[in-house]
Every structure is written in C-alpha cells, then in structure tokens.
Amino acid sequence: MSDHAGAGFRVSGLTLAFGLAALAALSILAMGQSWTVPVTAFSAAALTGVAIYLAFGAGHSATGESAGPHPNMQDLIPDTARDILDSIDEPLLLLDSADRVVFANPATHSLIRSDAMGKRLSSVLRTPELLESIGRVHSGGSAETVEFTMPVPIERHFEAHVSRTSGQLLLVRIRDVSNIRRSEQLRADFVANASHELRTPLASLTGFIDTLRGHAKDDPAARERFLEIMSSEASRMRRLIDDLLSLNRIEMNEHIPPSGEADVVTLVRDAADGLQPLADSESMQIEIEDRPPLWAIGQRDELTQVFQNLIHNAIKYGHSGGHVRVRFGTSGNGGADRERAQIFVAVEDEGEGIPREAIPRLTERFYRVDVKRSRERGGTGLGLAIVKHILNRHRGRLEIHSVPGSGSTFTAWLPAAAAA
C-alpha cells in the first residue's frame, strides 16, 4: 500500500473515530438529556472515538501491521485528539507496554507530577490497587474498575477504569468520588446517630412504664417523679423529630435561593422576645444593639429560626447571670456593587468557649462538644446544622470565633437587599 493510501487510511480512521464520538454524544441527547451532558458521558464518547483511532490509525501502519513502540506522544496522538483529551476535566493517562506514561491530560496534575511523561507510572503514582489492576490488564485480563485512596494532603477517594486498546496501550480513566463517599458516610452516620438519639429516651420511657406497672404502681410520690421524667423524655423526642423534619425540609429546598426581603433587626428582636423566659430562668440579659432596619434577602421564617437557634445556644452555654449580646453590621460598597454588599448578625455569649479543634465540626449533625450537658439542656445536636443549611440556601455563611474561657461569637452573614 502506498504512503498516500496509508495516510488516507489514517485520516479515514480519525474521521470514523470522531464520527462515532459525535454519534455517542447525540445518542445521549436522544435519551432526553440536555446539552449539559455530564462530563463522564462526554468523556466516554470522546474516549471511544480516540480509542478507535489509536487502534486503527496510530496503532497500525499503512500495511496493517503493528507499528510497535511509539517514540513520543506527538507521533501517537494527533493535535485535534490531544486537544479533546486535554479538555476533559477528569484525569486521563495512556501507558505503553512498559507502563511508561505516554500521555497525561492537565487534570492529572493534581495526582502526579507534571514531568511524568516517559516515566513508569509506579514512580509517579504510588497506589498499589491501581498498579495491580494495570498489571492484570497488561497480562491479558479484561478491562476493570478499581478504587483507591490518596490519604495526603487530605484524604481523597478515586475510581479508575483500566482498559487496553488494540495498539497495546493502556487507557486509565480516573474519577474523583470523594464527595460520593463522604455523602455515603454522612448518611450512614446520620442514620446511626438518629437511631441512637431516639433509642435512649425510648428506653427510659419503657423502663418507667414497666416500673409504674410493677412495684411503683401504688407509690404516688414515685409515680409523680417518674411521670415528670417521662414527660421530659417525650419532649426531647418531639424536639428531635421536629428538628429532623425541619432539617430535611431545608435541605430539600437548599438549591433554591429565597427571593423575599426581611429586616434582620426586627427578626432578632422577635426571636429574643420568644426566648426571654428562658433567659430569665438563667438570670441572663439579652442585649441587642440599637440599630435602624437592615434588610437582607431572605425568607422571614427561616431567618427567624437561625436567630432563635443562635440566641438559644448562647443562653444554654453561657454563664448564669451573664449577658448575651447581639451586634449588627454591613460590608460591601453598595450602589453599583450592591450584589456584593452583606449584612451580619453577631451573637456573643460569656460561656466557657469552644476548643479550636471542635469548631470545624460544630455544624455536623448530632455533634456536641459536651454531650452530657447538651442533653441535660434539651439540645438535639441539630441546631447549628439547621443554621448552616439555612444560610447556605440564602447564599450566606456562618463564622464561629471562640477562645476557651472567654466565650464565643457566632456570626451569620447574609446578602443585603436593595433596601438595606
């Protein structure tokens, strides 16, 4: 076969490759997907085309015989195909028969060194699970998917698909599944914690009922004492269920930002009025900064819940006879930059403070710094998780500052409304 015929064969192979990639993408659309096709779907379509090209174009000579080892990436992958592979935001590697890296797209730079070209993969990526999988596929095994973890600098979880092309190259496609694994763990922890939180009061109620049916059934004093405890435990379960339902409702709508406006000064005063009896029982004073109305973009009921939870926590974990102080403020330029202007509400207590290592976990479901004290004070361990998710929905944030022995400050930031 002539050189011209060989060149034509390679061009035809490339045309076929990209044609199949286009057909794969169109088939995704035909199944009802929009143009925002997930990157994994697009990657599969593009990689199908490139693999066929490597097999029929770059992987074989004009005579149809194997071209043997490829000296460099330029000879292996044409510019157009390389541009497509570079644009894929998932790590992608091509290895030769000696496990040397002959291609690595930019997304791999978070996993391996940028000078990995030409080096054996084992010298730039030390993951036994992946290397063993590559060895099996190189030895004639079928394509397989393997999971591996990189513990530093932060623990990340990955899933790699290893397959062999007709040109004896290995294609390694890597997907970061850290968020999926983290969500699975959070869900498992949530179920375990929720069942534990409900099991304790249920066990108490069952025990008291059995006692009242037994030797205490004719003891009026014991009956009154047990009924009081049972009422307290039932109230605790009711609060827990209410908070779980509230958190579930907030999470379902978290992706939908609110469109209303609310005066946070008025909402804080209303929340403080509702909690005044609790403050009085602790001989505590709630001091609210005198401030004209400050308007934020938000839903009134949800923002009220945020301020109620923050002030309630300040009362619960402050010192008896102390103060809870609420301050307001703004940041941003306003005017033409109004979308960047923000309002903050800072709630300060005079409690024992929070250890630094515990602060990042305070908004986790059911996390408590002092479990015994929290339960004694009627806490469910969900209050700050609710605050976090409400502020997320409002495109705001929660800042926590604390010095052990000097109290804590919880600051809720919210986007300012036009009237602010």
Mean pLDDT across 77-99? 84
pLDDT tens-digit map of 40-76: 444 444 454 454 444 444 444 333 333 444 445 445 6
CA–CA distance, 190 with 381 (Å, rounded to integer): 11
pLDDT tens-digit map of 216-225: 888 888 888 8
> Is there a single domain that holds both residue 229 and residue 366?
no
> Is there a single domain that holds both residue 302 and residue 376?
yes
What pLDDT is recorded for position 137? 92
> Is there a single domain that holds both residue 144 and residue 189?
no
Sequence-distant (≥ 6) Cβ neighbours of residue 52 within 8 angstroms: 13, 16, 17, 20
> Is there a single domain that holds both residue 275 and residue 388?
yes
> Is there a single domain that holds both residue 150 and residue 44?
yes
> Is there a single domain that holds both residue 60 and residue 165?
yes
For residue 246, give the CATH number of its domain: 1.10.287.130
> Is there a single domain that holds both residue 418 and residue 339?
yes
Assign 326 to helix, strand or coil.
strand
Domain of residue 219 covers 182-252
The distance in angstroms from the start CA to the end CA of the chain is 78
> Is there a single domain that holds both residue 214 and residue 133?
no
> Is there a single domain that holds both residue 85 and residue 186?
no
For residue 20, give the CATH number of its domain: 3.30.450.20
Query: Of 192, 219, 252, which residue constitutes the final position of a domain?
Result: 252
Mean pLDDT across 16-43? 40
| Cβ atoms within 10 Å, residue 145 | 12
DSSP codes, 168-194? S-EEEEEEE-HHHHHHHHHHHHHHHHH
> Is there a single domain that holds both residue 231 and residue 367?
no
> Is there a single domain that holds both residue 51 and residue 161?
yes
CA–CA distance, 126 with 124 (Å, rounded to integer): 7
What pLDDT is recorded for position 24? 43
Q: Is 63 exposed, middle or buried (0-12, 13-18, 19+ CB in 10 A)?
A: exposed
pLDDT tens-digit map of 109-125: 888 877 888 899 999 88
For residue 364, give the CATH number of its domain: 3.30.565.10
DSSP codes, 217-258? TT-HHHHHHHHHHHHHHHHHHHHHHHHHHHHHHHHHTTTS--
DSSP H or E stretch at residue 146 = strand 144-150
CA–CA distance, 350 with 406 (Å, rounded to integer): 6
> Is there a single domain that holds both residue 414 and residue 327?
yes
Query: Of 155, 176, 197, which residue constitutes the final position of a domain?
Result: 176
Query: Of 252, 269, 298, which residue constitutes the final position of a domain?
Result: 252
In this prediction the pTM is: 0.55
pLDDT tens-digit map of 122-173: 998 888 999 999 999 988 889 999 999 988 767 789 999 999 876 678 999 9
Question: Looking at this protein, which amino acid is placed at residue 115?
Answer: D
CA–CA distance, 163 with 141 (Å, rounded to integer): 9
Q: Number of structural domains, the chain?
A: 3
Computed over every residue of the chain, the mean pLDDT equals 79
List, in sequence order, every residue forming a beta bridge with 410; answer none if it has no partner.
347, 400
